Amino acid sequence: MSLHKCPNCKEIRFNWIVDNEISDLTIWDCWECNYTAYEDESKESNCPECKFPFRIFLKDDNSKYWWCSECERKVIIE
């Protein structure tokens, strides 16, 4: 696993784990700001901005959004 820039605090402390006890849910946590988000891996796609192949769909307590760790683009889904 590698660390990524957190979409919340922008520090390179964002990492993921797979929780096999909760149906293979991917959980992202930031070691800096304690932000947590949950990934829906079925919605992974290419970033339309930078063409990076691993733009991910994340959900937290307040929102759902696309996150590209390559270009740091966050697109909130209304």
Render pLDDT for 12-23 as a digit per residue (tens, 0 to 9): 999 998 876 666
Which is more confidently placed, 4 or 2?
A: 4
- pLDDT tops 70 at residue 1: no
Prediction pTM value: 0.85
| Alpha-carbon span 3 to 21, nearest angstrom | 23
pLDDT-derived band at 75 (thresholds 50, 70, 90) equals: very high
pLDDT of the residue at 44:
87
**HSE-up of residue 53 (Cα within 13 Å, Cβ side):** 0
pLDDT-derived band at 61 (thresholds 50, 70, 90) equals: very high
